């Protein structure tokens, strides 16, 4: 499968997910290029004056090559959402690229505002999500295959191969949001009390502190 065909397929999926699982509000005009600097608080972003809109508002080249992985998890997400492409404002769709080292993990997380559909560019991954009935739905997927993660459910991807892997992800939201389970619980600000986490996970407070230390943001 050529790169051109791969991206064409993902564009089609991106459009399909937008229409089929529409999440963000419908548009009321042709376009509403985001203008974050306006300071106006709305469900989305205020619109740039159409006379100031250019092709650059609808373009992003950041997914054309693998992202740089410099963390212990062995994965990196490169987002192509409204924060990177202002023209996505009100259009209800966005994209990401995820790259994994051999054995790399995109740890359990949720997207509170979107369903996600992934297309494997290279490699093979073990993926899964957990329903509200506490059932794990999982599968091994490889190059050219697709898997869907329903909106709001905890899910993960792990590179099960001995070579790097990558996927493209489409979302039915201009800004799907990402809620990392471990980071939220163990490295929030302010932090969740140690005794709460110790009781929830049936561990002692020293173990809680050890986990918090491992997940603490690295100081530059």
Binding residues: 106, 109, 111, 116, 155
Peptide bond into 200 cis (omega under 30): no
Annotated binding site for Mn(2+): 109, 111, 116, 155
Cα 48 to the center of its chain, rounded Å: 26
Cα distance between residue 90 and residue 21, in whole Å = 15
178 contacts 111 by C-beta, under 8 angstroms: yes
Query: Which residues are paired to 146 by β-bridges?
Result: 119
Annotated binding site for oxalate: 106, 111, 116
110 contacts 154 by C-beta, under 8 angstroms: yes
Place of tokens 């564009």: 11
> Helix 205-215 to helix 194-201 angle, to the nearest 10 degrees?
110
Which string of DSSP letters, residue by residue, matches 83-97?
TT-GGGTTT--EEEE
């Amino acid at each position: 499968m050529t790169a051109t065909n791969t991206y064409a397929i993902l564009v089609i999926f991106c459009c399909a997910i937008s229409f089929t699982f529409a999440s963000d509000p419908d548009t009321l005009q042709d376009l509403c290029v985001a203008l974050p600097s306006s300071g106006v608080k709305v469900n989305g972003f205020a619109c740039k004056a159409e006379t100031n809109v250019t092709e650059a508002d609808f373009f992003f080249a950041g997914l054309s090559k693998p992202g740089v992985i410099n963390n212990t998890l062995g994965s990196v997400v490169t987002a192509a959402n409204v924060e990177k492409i202002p023209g996505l404002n009100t259009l209800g769709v966005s994209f990401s690229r995820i790259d994994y080292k051999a054995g790399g993990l995109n740890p359990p997380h949720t997207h509170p505002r979107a369903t996600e559909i992934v297309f494997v560019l290279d490699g093979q991954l073990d993926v899964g999500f957990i329903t509200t009935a506490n059932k794990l739905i999982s599968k091994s997927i490889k190059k050219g295959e697709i898997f869907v993660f329903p909106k709001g459910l905890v899910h993960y991807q792990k590179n099960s191969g001995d070579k790097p892997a990558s996927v493209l992800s489409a979302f039915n939201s201009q800004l799907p949001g990402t809620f990392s389970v471990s980071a939220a619980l163990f490295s929030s600000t302010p932090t969740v009390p140690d005794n709460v986490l110790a009781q929830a996970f049936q561990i002692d407070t020293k173990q809680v502190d050890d986990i918090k230390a491992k997940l603490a943001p690295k100081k530059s």
